[in-house]
Structure formats: structure tokens, C-alpha cells
Amino acid sequence: MPAISWPAMTMDFQVAPNLDLSKVQLGQPVDFRLEKGNGGNYTVTSISPAAK
């Protein structure tokens, strides 16, 4: 994630409770937004299939 200077890796993130993950499939490229919360934890706050 160049925007926050992270190299390529696999990570688990919390997902906002109101976020519907049924619009994306396992392994599908996606566009998403992370928000940094208290304690430095990140939460996925939006996700959608990546633009082609």
C-alpha cells in the first residue's frame, strides 16, 4: 500500500459493522478504504470490485 508505505503482504483487518461483503468474491481484485482507529488498528470502511 504505497499510500501508507506498506510493502506487499497478507493481513487481516476488521470490517465496519455496516459493510456488506457479499458484493465481492474471494480472490477478486478490490478497491477499499481503511480508517485508522484508536490503538493503531485499521478497519475496512468501504470495499467494491476494482475498476477494470
More confident residue, 37 or 19: 19
pLDDT in tens, 18-27: 999 988 899 8
Kind and range of the H or E run holding 31: strand 30-36
Instruction: Answer whether residue 16 shows pLDDT above 90.
Output: yes
DSSP secondary structure letter of residue 24: S
Q: What share of the chain is helix, strand, coil (3-state, %, to 5)?
A: 15, 35, 50
Domain ranges of the chain: 13-45
DSSP secondary structure letter of residue 22: G
CB 42 within 8 A of CB 22: no
Looking up cell 459493522 gives: 17
More confident residue, 52 or 13: 13
